[in-house]
Amino acid sequence: MGKILGHLKTITAHKILVGKLCFRCHLYRQGLTHDLSKYSYIELKTGFKYYTGKASPIDGEKRDKGYSLCWLHHKGRNRHHWEYWLDDGPEHIIAQKMPYKYAIEMFCDGVAASMIYQKADYRDDSALIYYESHRHSRLIHEDTDRLLTMLYRYLADNGLDKTIELIRKGIDY
Q: Which residues bind Zn ion (CB under 5 A)?
A: 35, 78
Residue-wise DSSP of 114-129 = HHHHHGGG--TTHHHH
- Helices (DSSP H) in 51-97: which residue ranges? 57-65, 69-75
Q: Which is nearer to Zn ion, 35 or 145 (CB)?
A: 35
Minimum distance, C-beta of residue 65 to Zn ion, in the bound complex (Å) = 20
Residues near 102 by Cβ (< 8 Å), separated by ≥ 6? Answer: 30, 79, 80
Minimum distance, C-beta of residue 74 to Zn ion, in the bound complex (Å) = 6
- Give how far Cα 35 sits from Cα of 4, 90, 161, Å: 18, 31, 24
Q: Which is nearer to Zn ion, 76 or 159 (CB)?
A: 76
Q: Which is nearer to Zn ion, 75 or 152 (CB)?
A: 75
| Dihedral angle sign, alpha carbons of residues 54, 57, 59, 62 | positive
Minimum distance, C-beta of residue 77 to Zn ion, in the bound complex (Å) = 9
Minimum distance, C-beta of residue 80 to Zn ion, in the bound complex (Å) = 6
